[in-house]
Amino acid sequence: MDLLRSLPLGLYLEQPVTWLHRLDPRIKLAWLTSFLAAPILANALWRSALVGLLIVLTLTAMIPLRVWRRQMGWLLILSALILALTVVTPDGLAIQSQPRLPTPEATAAFSTAAPKSPEFLPELSQPTAYRYILFKQGPITISQRSLELGIRVSTLIFTLIYGTNLFLLTTASEEITAALEVLMQPLRWFKWPVTEIALTVTLALRFIPLVLEEVQNLVRSVRTRAINWRKLGFRRAAQIWVMVAERLLENLLLRAEQTAAAMQVRGFTSPNQHRVVWRPLKFHRWDWLACAALALFWGIRMAWGGDI
């Protein structure tokens, strides 16, 4: 099992360089924030359109199939399962229903109080084709509310996970650091350590592959020992996994200590003494086009994407 290939979480794709790589990281960060904020108070059609837009961006960027196939496939399967489970579960609306026809007691009371009329009013048909219950077969009932709730939850999970992964896949951690540092410049007025925060984010992104590598090595070491888990029982098996978790924590702390020592040796004691400018941020023509597309995106969201 290769976690670094099957679960490329937080990894940066160096080759090939796509048009998403060439965009300014501030623009990509604004797009990521828009993808995370646009589903709020949005209708089901808009949420589904966001999922389709993420898939279109992946295909048009010509990202290799081996990179996004497994993750997108698993996310689509997970979203489909969540949609199916949410659709068939009760919608949670406590609706008090009453019979369409009057009860015999009310009919008798009305007949005694009011004179009988020889004419009867015709039955009125429904003015629209709206139905709250979309499907009902045995114990399975699909209503308008449950379908809307399923679409909301499934599309939100896909947009949140895959949108963030696509951003990390096409943006280097140094570019993310530079973009965050530029965007957080107003916080310097309040004496916030902007450079330290950006550096911490960079180290956290760099540390994700190390965590996956350590987990992968420990899982392989357990598998090579050919342990018969059935003979061990639950208690002894739990003790082994506790020992593995302790070893994982020790290895991660050792990696963190080594990283800190390497930074101190290279002079990363304070941002005033050692400062590295990774990449000068400058807008190009395609960045302005991305800004215009973002403005159009929010215009469409305000016009047609609101929840009715």
Residue 29 belongs to some domain of the structure: yes
| Structure confidence at residue 135 (pLDDT) | 82
Residue 191 belongs to some domain of the structure: no
Same domain, 38 and 142: yes
Residue 115 belongs to some domain of the structure: no
| Structure confidence at residue 109 (pLDDT) | 58
For the chain, the domain total comes to: 2
Q: Residue 141: beta bridge partners?
A: 136
Same domain, 72 and 203: no
| Structure confidence at residue 120 (pLDDT) | 52
| Structure confidence at residue 9 (pLDDT) | 56
Query: Could you tell me the two tokens for 132?
Result: 């709250």
Classify 306 as helix, strand or coil.
strand
| Structure confidence at residue 1 (pLDDT) | 46
Same domain, 165 and 242: no
Same domain, 204 and 303: no
Same domain, 302 and 224: no
Per the document, the length of the chain is 308
Per-residue pLDDT of the chain (308 residues; tens, 9 = 90+): 454 555 555 577 888 888 998 899 999 999 999 999 999 888 889 999 999 999 999 999 888 888 777 778 888 899 999 999 988 887 765 555 566 666 666 566 555 554 544 455 566 666 777 777 888 888 888 888 888 889 999 999 999 999 998 898 888 878 888 888 888 888 888 888 887 787 788 788 778 778 888 888 888 888 888 777 777 788 888 888 889 889 889 988 898 888 888 877 777 766 655 555 556 778 888 889 999 999 999 999 998 887 75
Q: Residue 137: beta bridge partners?
A: 140
Residue 110 belongs to some domain of the structure: no
| Structure confidence at residue 68 (pLDDT) | 79
Rounded Cα–Cα distance for residues 298 and 301 (Å): 5
Same domain, 247 and 163: no
Same domain, 51 and 67: yes
Residue 107 belongs to some domain of the structure: no
Query: Could you tell me the two tokens for 282?
Result: 């400058």
198: how many CB neighbours lie within 10 A of its CB? Answer: 21
Same domain, 81 and 225: no
Same domain, 265 and 234: yes
Same domain, 151 and 223: no
| Structure confidence at residue 203 (pLDDT) | 80
Same domain, 221 and 87: no
Residue 112 belongs to some domain of the structure: no
Residue 100 belongs to some domain of the structure: no
Residue numbers of the domain that contains 31 = 1-92+129-171+283-308
Same domain, 147 and 200: no
Phi–psi pair at 299, nearest 5 degrees:
-65, -45
In contact, 8 and 71? CB cutoff 8 Å: yes
